[in-house]
Amino acid sequence: MVTAFDTTAANLRACRICRDTPLYGAPLPQEPLPIVQGSATARLCIASQAPGTRAHRTGIPFMDPSGVRLRSWLGLDEAAFYDAGRIAIVPMGSCFPGLDAKGGDKPPRRECAERWRGELFAGLPDLELILVIGQYAQAWHLGKMPDGLTGTVRRWREILAEPRAPRVLPLPHPSWRNNGWLKREPWFEAELLPVLKAEVARVMAPAVLKPGVMPAPSAARLTPNPAA
pLDDT at residue 39, as a whole number: 98
Inter-axis angle of helices 65-74 and 193-204, nearest 10: 80
Closest CA to 109 of 33, 54, 176: 33
Eight-class DSSP state of 46: E
Closest CA to 35 of 227, 224, 228: 224
**Angle made by CA atoms 164, 77, 99, in degrees to the nearest 5:** 75
Q: Taking a C-beta distance cutoff of 8 angstroms, is the pair 118, 99 a contact?
A: no
Eight-class DSSP state of 31: -
pLDDT at residue 208, as a whole number: 53
Closest CA to 97 of 115, 117, 112: 112
pLDDT at residue 210, as a whole number: 47
Would you call 24 helix, strand, or coil by DSSP? coil
Q: Which residues pair with 105 in a beta bridge?
A: 99
pLDDT at residue 144, as a whole number: 86
Please state the pTM of the whole predicted model. Answer: 0.89
Ordered by start, the domain boundaries in the chain are 4-97+105-204
CA distance 45 to 121: 9
Instruction: Evaluate the CA torsion angle 137, 73, 168, 179 in order and state its sign.
Output: negative
Superfamily of the domain at 4-97+105-204 = Uracil-DNA glycosylase-like domain (3.40.470.10)
CA distance 166 to 49: 19
CA distance 81 to 72: 11
Query: Tens-digit pLDDT profile for the chain (228 aa)?
Result: 999 999 999 999 999 999 999 999 999 989 999 999 999 999 999 999 999 989 999 999 999 999 999 999 999 999 999 999 999 999 999 999 998 888 888 999 999 999 999 999 999 999 999 999 999 999 999 998 889 999 999 999 999 999 999 999 999 999 999 999 999 999 999 999 999 999 999 999 986 544 554 444 444 444 444 333
